[in-house]
């Protein structure tokens, strides 16, 4: 959505087909939510009237706006004349932002997925994957905003788009990659490889660097907590292994059985 708005483009070909499938998925989800129970004060409520009332008071408006096949509608108004038709097109373009609100549900989905992960190793890997995807999503948004700032001030001589010899009418891929390179560089190293040429670009870059510093601190802290917790788990495992081996030696357990017990305990570690 930020890509389509910032780069002022429309989907076509297989991307349009995928987006239509996403709209169908959202529509199916909207219908199913009218028949899906919800938890209230620790109890699962399956009463139809209560389900409808709860859904219409919470997520229905957002889901309805996100389910509207906006790109399909825009594809049929490509040649809209000036006036009311073009105004409707602009309204539908703005409605794309409603899809971003569904990201608030993503946290609930990820929490449910974590509850079903029993292996500690997989939980660490899942947490790392979440942080990586979160950083890439944030970088994607920043890249779109960065290009929008440059394109909005294209008439100025001091402009990062002009300074880097980018053609506003050029290939979308080149424009997006250059913008994403700037975003990833600032988020990861707090250093912008593309110089800000005017005050608006400098202000945006400074705010981004401050935000990147906070994000970097949070990510490093989260990774350290994961490493420490996993290290504590491995230390506990070694202590249990040591006690088990000491017990078997004290009771004259044969080396073959000791090896089998050791492999069994190691297998437990791999599956936790």
Q: Where are the domains of the chain?
A: 1-116, 120-238
Residue pair 248/258 in contact (Cβ under 8 Å)? The answer is yes
∠ CA(108), CA(114), CA(118), 5° rounding?
A: 160
Burial degree of 204 (CB within 10 A; 0-12, 13-18, 19+): middle
Is the per-residue pLDDT at 84 higher than 50?
Answer: no
Taking only Cα atoms into account, the Rg of the chain, rounded to an integer number of angstroms, comes to 27
- Regarding pTM above 0.75, the answer is no
Q: Where are the alpha helices (DSSP H) in the chain?
A: 2-6, 14-33, 48-57, 60-67, 70-75, 84-94, 98-101, 104-115, 120-152, 160-163, 172-189, 199-250, 255-270
pLDDT in tens, 117-137: 766 677 778 888 888 888 898
Return d(Cα 106, Cα 111) in angstroms, integer: 9
The alpha carbon dihedral of 257, 259, 262, 267 has a sign of negative
Higher-pLDDT residue of 112, 176: 176
For residue 267, give both structure tokens: 């297998």
Burial degree of 208 (CB within 10 A; 0-12, 13-18, 19+): buried
Whole-number pLDDT of residue 272: 56
Q: What is the mean pLDDT of residues 215-225?
A: 84
Residue pair 173/3 in contact (Cβ under 8 Å)? The answer is no
**Which pLDDT band, with edges at 50, 70 and 90, does 39 fall under?**
confident
Return d(Cα 224, Cα 131) in angstroms, integer: 13
Q: What is the mean pLDDT of residues 176-195?
A: 84
């Amino acid at each position: 959505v930020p890509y389509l708005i910032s780069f002022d483009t429309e989907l076509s070909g297989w991307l349009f087909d995928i987006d239509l499938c996403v709209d169908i998925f959202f529509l199916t989800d909207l219908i199913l939510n009218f028949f899906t129970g919800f938890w209230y004060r620790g109890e699962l409520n399956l009463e139809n009237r209560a389900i409808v009332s709860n859904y219409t008071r919470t997520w229905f408006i957002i889901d309805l706006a996100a389910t509207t096949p906006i790109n399909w509608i825009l594809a049929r108004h490509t040649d809209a004349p000036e006036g009311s038709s073009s105004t409707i097109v602009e309204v539908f373009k703005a409605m794309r932002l409603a899809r971003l609100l569904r990201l608030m549900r993503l946290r609930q989905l990820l929490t449910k997925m974590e509850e079903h992960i029993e292996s500690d190793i997989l939980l660490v890997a899942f947490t790392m994957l979440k942080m990586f995807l979160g950083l890439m999503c944030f970088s994607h948004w920043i890249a779109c905003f960065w290009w929008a700032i440059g394109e909005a001030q294209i008439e100025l001589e001091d402009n990062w788009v002009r300074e880097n010899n980018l053609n506003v009418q050029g290939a979308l891929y080149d424009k997006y990659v250059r913008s994403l390179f700037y975003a990833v560089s600032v988020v990861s190293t707090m250093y912008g490889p593309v110089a800000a040429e005017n005050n608006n670009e400098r202000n945006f870059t400074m705010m981004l660097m401050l935000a990147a510093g906070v994000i970097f601190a949070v990510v490093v802290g989260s990774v350290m907590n994961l490493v420490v917790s996993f290290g504590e788990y491995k230390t506990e495992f070694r202590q249990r292994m040591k006690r088990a081996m000491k017990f078997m030696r004290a009771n004259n357990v044969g080396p073959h059985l000791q090896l089998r017990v050791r492999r069994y305990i190691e297998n437990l570690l791999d599956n936790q």
